[in-house]
Amino acid sequence: MYSLSTLAMAFGLTLFAGLSTSIGAGIAVSKRNPGPAFMAAALGLSAGVMLYVSFMEILPTGLDQLTEAYGSEKTGTWALVLAFFAGIAVIAIIDRLVPEEINPHEPATTEEAARRKRLIKTGVFTACALAFHNFPEGFATFLAGLEDPRIAIPVAVAIAIHNIPEGIAVAVPLREATSSRAKAFWWATISGLAEPVGAVVGFLLLLPLMGPATMGFSFAAIAGIMVFISLDELLPTAEETGEHHYAIYGLIAGMAIMALSLLMFL
């Protein structure tokens, strides 16, 4: 049985990591009139973070889990690829099922209304995908905190670092679409709160059921979801600003930030 102080410390680390999305949201909403260059760079940066973390962190972690579960790297790899494309299929189906509602009282032009709807969908999908991603992340951070704080602290800090651009990923399109800093900020914050929620739910309900296979499939599917969002939503929206080079610079910067945050805790 864990002591109350151990539980509190593990939960505190998880809460810290999750709420760092608010830092990214604060950065995103702090500019009064973000221009197309800022939008392109911020969306590109978010895509870079999501692509890099998917291929360099989440998928390798999933492969390790599935290899352990099935006792064979070949079988684990097949399971990983299947779960990865299953995640893409799920988010693609959801994307197709989203109703294209048009508000007849919207004063903007049809083109502007379509752009705003796309940005809203981008922000909401990104928030949902990151929440799903943060849920097992929070569970893993919480477990590390229960077992060994020396391991949990660098894990929590690394997660916090890459949650900052994730907060930007959610807040930027929603800020632009709704013209509301508060809505953009709170949506990003809520996506980060999935981490402490994952910690609590995992500890109370899922711990007896969670094993390498479940975690491996979850990580692979989450990677697929994040890759789809990056390629289908974030990068096309960044390109629509007309600032192609800023989108690419942001993409590369996002990958570099994510790479450095991971290298710091090798």
Report the binding-site residues for Zn(2+). 137, 162, 166
Helix, strand, or coil (residue 124): helix
For residues 246 and 243, what is the distance between their CA atoms, to the nearest angstrom?
A: 5
What is the DSSP code string of 10-65?
Answer: HHHHHHHHHHTHHHHHHHHHHSSS--HHHHHHHHHHHHHHHHHHIIIIIHHHHHHH
Known binding positions = 134, 137, 162-163, 166, 195
For residues 28 and 50, what is the distance between their CA atoms, to the nearest angstrom?
A: 17
Q: How many beta carbons lie within 10 A of that of residue 69, not counting itself?
A: 18
For residues 61 and 33, what is the distance between their CA atoms, to the nearest angstrom?
A: 40
Exposure string over 236-260, b if 16+ CB within 10 A, otherwise e: ebbebbebeebbbbbbebbbebbbe
Residue written as token pair 């890759």? 227
Known binding positions for Fe(2+) = 134, 137, 163, 166, 195
Q: Are 251 and 43 in contact (CB under 8 A)?
A: no
